[in-house]
Amino acid sequence: MLLQLKNISKGYGEQGAHSFRSVLRQLNLEIKKGERISIVGPSGSGKTTLLNLMGALDQPDSGEIYFDGTNITSYSKKELAEFRNRHLGFVFQLHHLMPQLTLWENVLLPVLPMGKVTKNHEEWAEYLIKKVGIWEQRNQKPAEMSGGECQRTAVIRALINKPELILADEPTGALDEENAVALTDLLVQLSREENVTLVTVTHAVQLAKEMEKSYTLKNGKLV
């Protein structure tokens, strides 16, 4: 099992206070390597909170999270940062590309904390950029590219360190229908070909349908 969430609870505010808001309640989830799942639910149901916990960007109030059998809830901040960089890739609704960098430089940005950009990194970046059809734009900056091109760049950036798990938060939310379909197909294709586990949080019915499993987050639990 690649990722396990055991009895996860998370809320906001001071526990016991009238203003405390419980978001996740004793939630359990198991995800196998290579699996593709979607998590849907109304705004405010806790989808992004759940994704942030999976991505070690936040800590649960209670419960445990295991990645490949290791309990990561006990990691230090430094260990969590190293874990994220080595094992996870993130795709958000907004691409969050660095505006002063080219497509090529943005793609290789996650490599820098690991040390020097190697020939292997550059070959992998070239392969991915060509695969998604934006090689001609490699020297352009985000302002010179379309929204679909920027979002495809964000997907490649998420794959550059060859993660085992990609977490995508509303990845098609800022795109028109044509580009949303293209990005959905790209995520599924790359996940399948590279055997990368994919978890998407989405309102998009089409994206959810393309996943192997779909969960609804309701009253703090997955259905």
Quote the domain boundaries for residue 161.
35-58+76-222
- Residue 196 domain-assigned? yes
Q: What pLDDT score does 116 carry?
A: 84
Does position 16 have pLDDT exceeding 80, yes or no?
A: no
The pLDDT score that the predictor gives to residue 166 is 94
Comparison of pLDDT for 8 and 93, the residue scoring more: 8
Q: Is 80 domain-assigned?
A: yes
Query: Which whole number is the average pLDDT over 165-176?
Result: 88
pLDDT over 90 for what percent of the chain?
65
CB 151 within 8 A of CB 134: no
Whether 7 is covered by a domain: the verdict is: no
pLDDT reading at 13 higher than 90:
no
**28 located within any domain:** no
Three-state SS for 219? coil
Query: Quick one: pLDDT at residue 142?
Result: 97
How many domains are there within the chain?
Answer: 1
Chain segment 173-221, per-residue pLDDT in tens: 888 888 888 888 888 888 998 899 999 998 878 788 889 999 999 999 9
- The residues, ordered by sequence, that sit 6+ positions from 46 with a Cβ below 8 Å of its Cβ are 10, 23, 24, 217, 220
Cβ atoms of 124 and 162 within 8 Å: the answer is yes
What is the residue-averaged pLDDT of the chain? 91
Residue 72 neighbours by CB under 8 Å, 6+ apart: 56, 65, 66, 80, 83
Instruction: Give a yes or no: residue 178 inside a domain.
Output: yes
Mean pLDDT of 155-183: 88
The reply to whether 97 falls in a domain is yes
Give pLDDT, residue 180. Answer: 83
The pLDDT tens digits for 21-30 are 899 999 999 9
Q: Specify the CATH number for the domain of residue 158.
A: 3.40.50.300
Q: How far apart (Å, rounded) are the C-alpha atoms in residues 119 and 55? A: 28
The whole-angstrom separation of Cα 92 and Cα 95 is 6
In a domain, 137, yes or no: yes
Per-residue pLDDT at 55 exceeds 90: yes
* Residue ranges in the chain assigned as alpha helix (H): 47-54, 77-87, 103-108, 119-131, 147-159, 177-194, 205-209
Q: pLDDT of 144-153, one tens digit each?
A: 999 889 989 9
Does residue 124 have a pLDDT over 90?
yes
Q: Tell me what the mean pLDDT of segment 144-165 comes to.
A: 92
Q: Is 22 domain-assigned? A: no
